Amino acid sequence: MSRFFITTPIYYVNAKPHLGHAYTTIVADSLARFHRLCGDETFFLTGTDEHGDKIVQAAEKAASTPQQYVDTVSAQFRDLWPELGVTNDDFIRTTEPRHRQVVQAVLQKVYDAGDIYLKNYEGLYCYGCEQFLTEKDLDADGCCPDHKVPPARISEANYFFRMSKYQGWLKEHILANPDFIRPERYRNEVLSMLDMGVLDDLCISRPKSRLTWGIELPFDTGYVTYVWFDALINYITALGWPDGELFARFWEHTDHLVAKDILKPHAVFWPTMLRAAGLPVYRHLNVHGYWLVKDTKMSKSLGNVVEPLALKDRYGLDAFRYFLLREMRFGRDASFSEDALVGRLNADLANDLGNLFSRVLAMTHKYFGGQVPDPGARTAPADPALGELARNALDNYAALFGRLEFGQALESLWELVRALNKYVDASAPWTLFKEGRTGELAGVMYTLLEMMRKVALCVWPVMPATAEAMTAQLGGRFDLARVDLDAEIRGFGGLEPGTVLAAGSNLFPRVEPPREEAAPRPAAKAKEKAREKAQPAKAAPAAQQTPGVIDFADFQKLDLRVGTVLAAEPHPDADRLFVVQVDLGEETPRQVVAGLREFFQAEDLLGRQVVVVANLAPRPLRGKTSHGMILAVRREGGMELLTASGPVAPGAKVS
């Protein structure tokens, strides 16, 4: 059995969690779920980093002790993850006794090997970075490039780690292992860093005269450990180094996941620390970019921090998770906006995925009584070309996801989703049913349902609740222990004929982004009122109307929406009327009484998309109440339904 150990950075608790933290953790969770789906034994670690100068400063600002402060903020992180569907196996805090013991053991080991030494040092110290900087680290104005303030000059005795000793080894290791740091752009950045000159030794202590909030050095109690030398060790603490069973099973299968702002500590400090301690290095360092808001990195001081829970509550957890992985190309920066999130939700989830499930389940109920039909042989799809497309799409999805190319992986999966929607239109099940071609119809419907089952399995790492709901609608239960992803990609026929399906599906109703209307400024409002008061009242001129022409305002009163016909039954008391149930993306189907019976059979309507006047007042028609009107066009000898040129999500507004 393969193994997989995925870690997030342990988040610094000087501020509450935001979109950036949520993205990293949801990516890690999706990777953990993906590897579980592949049958890998998986361990997923996250946690909080709780020592250092900035914690003391934040605690003082909050009128709290450092311990009280970190307890509060760490709990915010711990409590957030279940709300975002995160399934971590451990949550580590650097203030825990187990971590202090491991940090001190590693320090002693490296000290005993001669790679930690004491020296007097005068240097430029950035309190924001909590580390000494060199002149070459500063920007053109002599400031820290991250915090935009000049560093303080400090002179003191400190302990240093002989990091420069391992520069040659680190470069050779990176060159010999091309996927050690990925994407490649960050590998090249680290190699460039190493080629620029001699790697400096790392100051790994802070005198207690300046800072007491930290882990004491085991060989000198007058000092505490530099926060990075402390924090990075969490990854082996959680596995029970040195003798823990988890360490023996998982350490060689480690994938770290970090944002690009902490590339150097993870790509330079951490591997050289491990080498000095005589430990093997991790397998992969995976580095992602920033989420930008209006092309600017999120910052509390700028007031552009995005709250993940607000988005989850407004648009749904799975839509939020899908957007994060679909929108950002891993390794590069991405722009966040609610409009983009709503666009993805409506296009990919409502129009494509939701519409597919809605129409196929409705047709199966009409044609086969809501049970999976028996296609005869279940060895291949009814359409060989669709089968080949599905194998390629699923194969690409798995390969790309494993390489952290999440957006491309989901696009591959959506190639199949879109192809299935097109297959519905091309195979025209309503025509097969009308012509009595039952065997062919069974093959078409079985192919659609079986492919939908595969899609449900594959989206589980990103949208777990949706995947489980789709599986339930297809008459099954999501059971991770029974999933064989490779077999699902290559095989066909896992859906049992006779399985009872859900009557309908409304996975992703369309949504509208919140629109903030600019309130008129008080001064302008007062001027307008004064102007109106000063002017004499005038009689409104009679509107000049052209016969048969309406004002645009009258047209705007119409609420025209596209819906999918779920059921159509003859009206019991009217020969020309159908009682139609239409999915308009609402909680329950809309009942519309339509005068279409003279021109259509009930089966002709099933699964069709129609345009409905959705804001008509309810009207009783022969004992059945109609909540709208289905639009149609008369032609010589018959009638045609008004519809969209292609599949759209139930409830899509005509504008």
Residues classed as catalytic: 18, 21, 126, 129, 144, 147, 297, 300
Run of H or E residues at 458: helix 438-458
Rounded CA gap, 537 and 516, in Å? Answer: 33
Give the three-state DSSP class for 99. Answer: helix
CA distance 94 to 50: 6
In this structure, what is the dihedral angle of CA atoms 51, 53, 59, 63, given to the nearest 10 degrees? 150
Encoded tokens for 242 = 């040195």
Q: How far is Cα 194 from Cα 192, in angstroms, rounded to an integer? A: 5
Instruction: Report how far residue 343's alpha carbon sits from residue 337's, in angstroms, rounded to the nearest whole number.
Output: 10
* Alpha carbon distance 53, 130 (integer Å): 7
Amino acid at 532: E
Quote the CA–CA distance of 67 and 23 in Å, as a whole number: 27
Q: What tokens does 174 get? A: 């990176």
**Nearest-angstrom CA–CA distance, 600 and 572:** 16
Which residue, 636, 586, 635, 637, is CA-closest to 612? Answer: 586
Say which residue the tokens 């999120």 belong to: 298
The three-state DSSP-derived secondary structure of 286-343 is: EEECCEEECCEECCCCCCCCCCHHHHHHHHCHHHHHHHHHHHCCCCCCEECCHHHHHH
Cβ neighbours around 81 below 10 Å, total: 20
Residue 54: CB atoms within 10 Å? 18
